[in-house]
Structure 1
Amino acid sequence: MQCHYRGVWTLDELLERVSAALTAEYSGAPNGRVRDVPDRRAVRWYATTGLVDRPSAMSGRTALYERRHLLQLVAVKRLQSEGRALAEIQAELAGATDKKLAAIAKVPGRLLESGERPPEAVRPRFWAEPVAAPAKTRPPEAAPLNGVALGGGAVVLVPGTPAAADLADIAAAAQPLLDLLAARGLLNEREQS
């Protein structure tokens, strides 16, 4: 089965589209402090600060971006070219619709369209799956555990159901443990017998 994503790009593919979109009607940054075209680091920073949406999805360790990211990045660069500060741009673009972003960004339609691109192979998450023991070494089905009250709030769990005679033997065998727990203040004094 081969699966395809429509309109999804890696960061490098997104930046190629941003660069192509900015070749038309773009005067560039007004000063030397701002890049004409954002680089990978700038896009990540814009996403961290909320200026641009976070990646839409991940394919392994590769972030995937969509049409809205392209519109956001180009809109940011066009507004920066007018000499506007990032804080001002962020306030204007916060919650902007795709229609508003498209009006500011003026991205040519051919750049918004995308061919299909297969995602990278996703490796199985082996650590998230329970480990099954081989059939030969698998333990037999465990009997249900039953609690035997020892006093002072201490309970010992035993497989199966102990008989009345077993309860007395368990209590006698557990007395040194109860003495130690009491000496260390680890028992509930109200429940001690």
Structure 2
Amino acid sequence: MWTLDELLDRVSAALTAEYSGAPNGRVRDVPDKRAVRWYATTGLVDRPSAMRGRSALYERRHLLQLVAVKRLQSQGRTLADIQAELTGATDTTLAAIARVPEHLLVDSGDAPPPEEVRPRFWAAPAAPPTGASAGAPILPPAGAASPPAGALPAAAGAAPTAPPALSGTSPASPAAPPAAPTPPAPPEAFALNGVALPGGAVLLIPGTPTAADRAEIAAAARPLLDLLQTRGLLNEREPS
């Protein structure tokens, strides 16, 4: 697995050998960190495979997706068209488009190091007494009132003796501890999927759209996009 910086280094190396850049000159040749995170939000690139502390980790498929996006952008394709083509694409399809050199796809295979576990000192058992104090009875301090007969602890190895009960009384049972309150159930969480639209607009939906769904959504959203463009609410430059 690679960090985001390591992933972008491999994307740059893959595009160096064969990449003419976007024809309109408005698209960044190599995506930056902000663009990669935006791609993951809109579904152009898969979300990170794992986390190492607060650092996201990426794999071979992320490299193929990013390079494939830049290859198609160099042909003048829009992000909406690229998203419709690459959504759900297999690694074989991505590899044919990206043409990434094989040595850049090699993963070290090292799993992220386990986080350090701090010892729970409060859970460790108490150390047994040693030396002459082992087995010695605990005596009250000088000047303290002597306990009633039978209340002194028994010698080591002897069975403890209960103090005599008062006549006409019975020992009281200990009170049961109160039951812990039941925590409320956490609210149900669901993931949102983004559909990229022209002008930098993104439509968030709870379902998982197919490539056909995205194309029909983009067509149906045309009146809304025209209104947003008239009011100056669209970004004239799409994120790279």
In the alignment, which of 11, 21, 26 is matched to residue 14 of structure 2?
Answer: 21
Structure 2 segments unaligned to the other structure (5+ residues): 127-173, 180-240
Match of 1:143 among 156, 176, 185: 176
Q: Which residue does 2:2 correspond to in 1?
A: 9
Instruction: Give the Å deviation of 1:115.
Output: 2.4
2:59 equivalent in structure 1 = 66
Tell me, yes or no, if the aligned pair for 1:60 and 1:121 is still in contact at 8 Å.
no
- The residue that corresponds to 1:79 in the other structure is 72
AA aligned to 1:42 is A
Please report the TM-score for the alignment, with normalisation by the length of structure 2: 0.49
User: Could you say what the CA RMSD is over the residues aligned between the two structures, in angstroms?
Assistant: 2.8
| Larger displacement relative to structure 2 (110-119 or 97-106) | 110-119
The match for 1:41 is 34
Query: What TM-score do you get using the length of structure 1 for normalisation?
Result: 0.60
Q: Greater helix percent: which structure?
A: 1
Paired residues, number: 130
Kindly, what percent of the aligned residue pairs are identical?
Answer: 76
Give the partner amino acid of 1:84.
R
2:99 paired with 1:99: no
Q: Which amino acid aligns with 1:22?
A: L
- Give the structure with the larger strand fraction: 1
Give, in angstroms, the shift of residue 117 of structure 1: 3.9
Alpha-carbon distance change, 142 to 118 in structure 1, aligned in 2, over 3 angstroms? farther
Q: Which runs of 5+ in 1 are unaligned?
A: 1-7, 136-140, 147-193
**Taking structure 1 as reference, are residues 27 and 125 closer, same or farther at Cα in structure 2, changes over 3 Å only?**
farther
Aligned partners of 1:116 and 1:53: how far apart in 2? 19
Contact 2:60 2:107 in 1 (8 A): no
